[in-house]
Amino acid sequence: MKRNVILKVLTIFTMMLAIIGSFSTSPAEAAPSNYKFDFGNGEVEKGYIGVSANDKYDVKKRYGFNTPENMINVPASGASLGSDAVEFLKFGTKSDNTFNVDLPNGLYEVKVTLGDTARASVVAEGVYQVINMTGNNATDSFQIPVTDGQLNLLITEGKVGTRFTLSALEIDKLSHHPETNRTIYIGGDSTVCNYYPLDSSIQAGWGQLLPKFVDPETFQVKNMASGGQIARGFLYDGQMEAILKYIKPRDYFILQLGINDTNPKNTTTEAQFKEYMREMVQQVKAKGATPILSTPQGRATDFNTEGVHSSVNRWYRNSIIALAQEENVPLVDLNVLSSAYFTSIGPAASLALYMNGDTLHPNRAGATVLARIVAEELKRQGLDGFTGEDKKNQ
């Protein structure tokens, strides 16, 4: 009797060990959560995985190009990682010519380094992730949730006729939960967008500098603004689609357009502009997030003979203000707020905040001033996460 009991106990113990073993996956079998890829056919940087244009996706390797016949290896003018790249011959937000990487579901930080290109955008999961990276070896990063076990990424059109290249890719897992951290999304034009290198560009948009005045423990900032943009284009050409894919309750969306909409070549009436803007505001509201409208700042030379800066009748400002009231959303009247600042420092100091020979586009110092004004106003209105202080230089 005792022997039978002992045998049963041993049998149960053996079965338990087998079950426990079935849940244990060896490191060789586990899908990695972090990768560093060096693209092209040159020497592979230490610590990186070399990927050539003809490397087709392999389920055993867990990475590769979906259609390598649409890829070529190309040289690049940078050093080490930036000395070579792959070029995407087929592209577009819905293209299947992607670089695929198997990943456990979760939230990832993806860092992209381009090869030689004048202007290119990054697409992943069928939508824009980074808009208009400019210059050779430009680098940027973004958060992305992976929910289907695979990241699908490509470099696509930022400007017609330029090359769309990729030199390096770094992927790091941030969380097991496939949802972005709280995010401030930004929509706008060339006075708002990013310029590269991000940390040292001479020209800058205020959206590029806004992270200086945002608590990084509360928000990440995702600037989807682009040069020359109008409300109709932002709404229908992919930027708004990308925001709506990820925006969620407790996120913010700051939208500033109007400068290019008033250009006759864009054939946008003020009434049409207002309705395009309204549609974006309502789409964000429907996601449970908070839309914020901003009016564009004026030109450096908008001073009257008494030394007062004013541009209150420019760029469909009145329709932006009316829309904010009608939709009951926060408004940053950057037009008036920046004019008050420019008046306080005078014409010469104001002009010094703009690019040389350009009275519309701010330089890095000017973009920093505008970003601080935006953050201070939103903090004053009680929106959380805005410091009004340069956190990166403290």
Residues 162 and 187 in one domain: no
What pLDDT score was predicted for residue 392?
Answer: 56
Q: Does 95 reside within a domain?
A: yes
Residues 70 and 206 in one domain: no
* C-alpha torsion sign, points 232, 236, 242, 243: positive
Residues 207 and 268 in one domain: yes
Looking at every residue in the chain, the average pLDDT score rounds to: 93
* 118/155 Cα distance (integer angstroms): 13
Residues 50 and 197 in one domain: no
Residues 214 and 355 in one domain: yes
Q: How far is CA 114 from CA 83, 168, 173, in A?
A: 10, 7, 21
The answer to whether residue 47 scores a pLDDT higher than 50 is yes
**CATH number, domain containing residue 241:** 3.40.50.1110
Q: Does 338 reside within a domain?
A: yes
Q: Does 381 reside within a domain?
A: yes
Q: How far is CA 148 from CA 67, 105, 171, in A?
A: 20, 7, 16
Helix (H) or strand (E) run with residue 245 in it: helix 239-246
The answer to whether residue 64 scores a pLDDT higher than 50 is yes
The answer to whether residue 259 scores a pLDDT higher than 60 is yes
Residues 165 and 62 in one domain: yes
- Residue scoring higher pLDDT (265 or 22): 265
Q: Is 190 annotated in the active site?
A: yes
- Of the three residues 175, 203, 232, the one that is the final residue of a domain is 175
Q: What average pLDDT does this structure show over 32-49?
A: 96
Residues 378 and 257 in one domain: yes
- Pull the structure tokens for residue 320: 């932006």
Looking at the structure of the chain, the number of domains it has is: 2
* 35/187 Cα distance (integer angstroms): 31
Q: Is the pTM of this model over 0.85?
A: yes
Q: What average pLDDT does this structure show over 58-79?
A: 97
pLDDT digits (tens, 9 = 90+) for 81-103: 999 999 999 999 999 999 999 99
* C-alpha torsion sign, points 129, 144, 250, 206: negative
pLDDT digits (tens, 9 = 90+) for 317-350: 999 999 999 999 999 999 999 999 999 999 999 9
What pLDDT score was predicted for residue 28?
Answer: 45
Q: Does 358 reside within a domain?
A: yes
- Annotated catalytic residue within 52, 167, 190, 226: 190
The type of residue at 66 is N
Residues 231 and 160 in one domain: no
- Of the three residues 143, 175, 207, the one that is the final residue of a domain is 175
148 by DSSP, 3-state: which?
coil
Confidence of residue 19 (pLDDT cuts 50, 70, 90): very low
Confidence of residue 8 (pLDDT cuts 50, 70, 90): low
Helix (H) or strand (E) run with residue 64 in it: strand 63-65
* 268/371 Cα distance (integer angstroms): 27
Q: What average pLDDT does this structure show over 245-249?
A: 98
The answer to whether residue 195 scores a pLDDT higher than 50 is yes
pLDDT digits (tens, 9 = 90+) for 349-384: 999 999 999 999 999 999 999 999 999 999 999 999
111 by DSSP, 3-state: which?
strand
- Residue scoring higher pLDDT (157 or 366): 366
**CATH number, domain containing residue 55:** 2.60.120.430
- 355 by Cβ neighbours in 10 Å (0-12 / 13-18 / 19+) ranks as middle
- Pull the structure tokens for residue 1: 């009797």
Which phi and psi angles does 393 have, rounded to 5°? -115, 20
- Residue scoring higher pLDDT (160 or 28): 160
- Pull the structure tokens for residue 143: 């958060």
The answer to whether residue 283 scores a pLDDT higher than 80 is yes
For tokens 């389920």, name the residue. 59
Q: Is the peptide bond before 197 cis (omega within 30 degrees of 0)?
A: yes
What pLDDT score was predicted for residue 158?
Answer: 84
- Pull the structure tokens for residue 299: 């030109």
Q: What average pLDDT does this structure show over 162-191?
A: 97
* 183/185 Cα distance (integer angstroms): 6
Q: What average pLDDT does this structure show over 42-68?
A: 97
The count of other CB atoms within 10 Å of the CB of residue 159 is 14
What pLDDT score was predicted for residue 22?
Answer: 43
Q: Does 143 reside within a domain?
A: yes
Lowest mean pLDDT among 7-11, 115-119, 149-153, 214-218: 7-11
Q: Does 217 reside within a domain?
A: yes
Q: Does 7 reside within a domain?
A: no
Q: Is 358 annotated in the active site?
A: yes
Name residue 113's beta-bridge partners: 139, 168
Q: What average pLDDT does this structure show over 129-146?
A: 97
Residues 216 and 166 in one domain: no
Residues 274 and 223 in one domain: yes
Residues 220 and 151 in one domain: no
- Of the three residues 175, 192, 214, the one that is the final residue of a domain is 175
Residue 155 CA from chain centroid, whole number = 14
What pLDDT score was predicted for residue 161?
Answer: 81
Share of residues in the chain with pLDDT > 90 (%): 88
What pLDDT score was predicted for residue 159?
Answer: 76
Q: Which regions of 188-244 does DSSP assign to beta strands (E)?
A: 220-223
- 213 by Cβ neighbours in 10 Å (0-12 / 13-18 / 19+) ranks as buried
pLDDT digits (tens, 9 = 90+) for 205-243: 999 999 999 999 999 999 999 999 999 999 999 999 999
Q: Look up the domain containing 326 and give its range.
A: 183-393
Alpha-helical (H) ranges within the chain are 2-23, 206-209, 231-236, 239-246, 270-286, 317-327, 334-345, 347-351, 364-380
Q: Does 362 reside within a domain?
A: yes
* 201/195 Cα distance (integer angstroms): 6
Q: What average pLDDT does this structure show over 133-152?
A: 97
What pLDDT score was predicted for residue 29?
Answer: 57
- Annotated catalytic residue within 96, 148, 358, 384: 358
Residues 138 and 196 in one domain: no
